[in-house]
A and B are shown apart, each in its own frame.
Chain A
Amino acid sequence: MRTPYAFALAAAVLAALAAAPLFLPDYWTGVLLGMTGYVALATAWALFSGPTRYVSLATVAFFGVGAYTVAVLNEALPYPLVLLCAGAIGAVMALVVGLSTLRLAGVYFVIFTFGLAELVRQTVSWWEVNVTYTMGRYVFLPFEGRHIYWQLLALAAVTLLISWGIGRSRIGLALRAIGDDETVAAHAGIDVTRIKLLLFVISATLITLVGAIQAPRWTYIEPSIVFNPTVSFMTLIMALLGGAMRLWGPLVGAIPLFLLFEWLSVSFPDHFSIMLGLLFILIVFVMPNGVLARIETLRKGGRA
């Protein structure tokens, strides 16, 4: 499809989605909200981890920091400033993590991100208990489900736009070169560490914002709620199912999986994480490059 048509179509779909809460009952607005949140998370995750193949396991560390920032600041500052603060904190945190690990081999990054959420959770808990003497905070913002949904929808659209823009830019080209072979990329004159760092910061900031925007949904927030490792896991599995290397991959993975998880968590609340784990292992085995790549291979195979 030619680009102008694709944009017109995307804009039409976006408008239809934005109008949806006016016609849908509250429950379905809630489902759409959660789904949009995960589309944004998975796309933002794939922005960095897809092309570089640096698996980040720290999604919920940033997500939780975003939500927690809103919980702490929501009464002190006007809402737009709170979001700005959340984004800035996420960016600085990503910068620190990136600067210390991204110049090394990929495995250091994975290990570091693996424990990051737990580290942040424990540190925040410690801080709240010993310094501020509060455990658990309330978010009082005059938002209904649909307001949060519209914000998330806008963020998801922006995330997709950024992903599209990067894919067409020199940075995108450099990223793909890094993913293929880091040594070759470095020899071709690409500042490997800087590109990786830049992308990681962008991706992490977007993830932080998703957490910040979703914070009013909880009303009551404490570290164990917002730093739930299942969020990292679900983001990863969605991006992988759709295909982390493609623009639409994370979205294609997020929509069916979100509905499936919604159903699973209601029908099998006790066995949720077992099923999640098994499903994940299955995806790694059957479709290591995602559904979209799989369909492409099948179509090519059919033609040949």
Chain B
Amino acid sequence: MLEHVVNGLVLGGTYALVAMGLTIQYGIARIMNLSFGDTIIAACFATYLLFSALQIGPILALLILVPAGYGLSLLVYRVIMKPLVDRAPDEGALEVDSILVTFGLLFVIQGVLLTIFGGGYTSYSFMNTAVDVLGTAVAANRLLALGLSLVIGAALVIVLFRTRWGMVLRDVALAPDSAPLFGIDTDRAARRAFAIGGALAATGGVVLSMFQTFTATGGVVFTMKALIVVILGGKGSVPGAIVAGLLLGLVETFVAAYVDPGLTLAAVYTVFLALLLVRPNGIFGKA
């Protein structure tokens, strides 16, 4: 029982982390990024490569891959998203365009990963020793993953809610039309938000790869789960993403443990549907 709670929290912590990235991209940059999960998978493979070829551990890999995720996302925004943002007459049009373009990007990233790494399940063994937590054995890498998710998530919340920089980002999320009147460069805020989202996806990938197996085609499921967490928590709400992410991780672990591992996605969808019917705007969403 307790073992499942811990495992659920570990998984949920990672979901919360990556969902924060997606909700920042969608809430501030107004881009619905369907290739988000494939960015996570790409980071998983990059960590695996660093670990197995260069003996660089995941913690150190974080220092390399997170800035890389930031930089690459910035590039993607400049090259692909910016022209669409400039072209879109309204928010709805941008939403459709961004969905389409990132759907294409999904296949590109997936194709590149398939070409390099093939379609098989990949994993590596890192800190795979049991640690005693309140009487149950938990793998050390899972505990580390939970710790990293919490620290990074908390750092992001502090930056968003306690710094001027974070306030600017939240302003753009809240009122994109009035933000320029206060001298806020919305374009720069959107660019940064998209890049932070990419950096969080990279973080999530590194953390996930420490305790889970991954495949080149697994990105869709991660995007899906991150999207569901975002919707559950309320679009653009960071605290909502954290609560919903943990909830989803727990639901998934318990269904896998007590019902059937093959039904986890079905369970996730059921939670999603039930919530859509009761609270269409999410747990923390405003009507």
Contacts and interface: CB of A to CB of B under 8 A. Distances in A.
A114 B220 contact: yes
Interface in B182-233: 220-221, 223-224, 227-228, 231
Contact of A115 (B110, B265, B276): B265
Nearest to A53: B96
A114 B224 contact: yes
A107 B80 contact: no
Contact of B104 (A115, A119, A277): A277
Nearest to B224: A115
Contacts of A271: 111, 115
Contacts, number: 116
A65 to B, nearest CB: 15
A177 B67 CA distance: 46
* Most chain A beta-carbon neighbours within 10 Å: one of B100, B220, B262, B265: B100
B97 A281 contact: no
Contacts of B80: 281
Contacts of A272: 111
A288 interface: yes
Interface in A13-56: 53, 55
B107 A276 contact: yes
Contacts of A123: 263, 265-266
A284 B104 contact: yes
Contacts of B220: 114-115, 118, 229
Given A108-B276, A284-B104, A273 B110 contact: yes
A111 B87 CA distance: 24
Interface residues of B, number: 43
Interface residues of A, number: 41
A119 B262 contact: no
Nearest to A181: B92
Contact of B224 (A53, A108, A118, A273): A118
Nearest to B102: A281
A126 B104 contact: no
A123 B231 CA distance: 23
Q: Is the interface of A mostly helix, strand, loop or mixed?
A: helix
A100 B115 contact: no
Interface string A252-285: 0000000000000000001111111111110011
Interface in A96-125: 100-101, 104, 106-108, 110-112, 114-115, 118-119, 122-123, 125
A32 B92 CA distance: 37
Interface string B78-118: 00100110010000100111011101111111111011000
A277 B276 contact: no
Nearest to A57: B103
B257 interface: no
A130 B80 CA distance: 45
A115 B221 contact: yes
Given A119-B266, A274-B115, A280 B107 contact: yes
A55 B99 contact: yes
A233 interface: yes
A130 to B, nearest CB: 7
B56 to A, nearest CB: 27
Interface string B235-266: 00000000000000000000000001011011
Given A129-B262, A284-B100, 4 more contacts: A53-B96, A100-B273, A114-B223, A280-B104
12 contacts: A55-B100, A111-B227, A111-B231, A118-B224, A119-B266, A123-B266, A273-B108, A277-B106, A281-B105, A281-B108, A284-B84, A284-B100
Interface of A: 53, 55, 57, 100-101, 104, 106-108, 110-112, 114-115, 118-119, 122-123, 125-126, 129-130, 229, 233, 236, 240, 270-281, 284-285, 288
Which 8 residue pairs across A and B have the least CB separation, nearest first? A277-B107, A274-B111, A277-B108, A280-B104, A273-B111, A115-B224, A126-B262, A281-B104
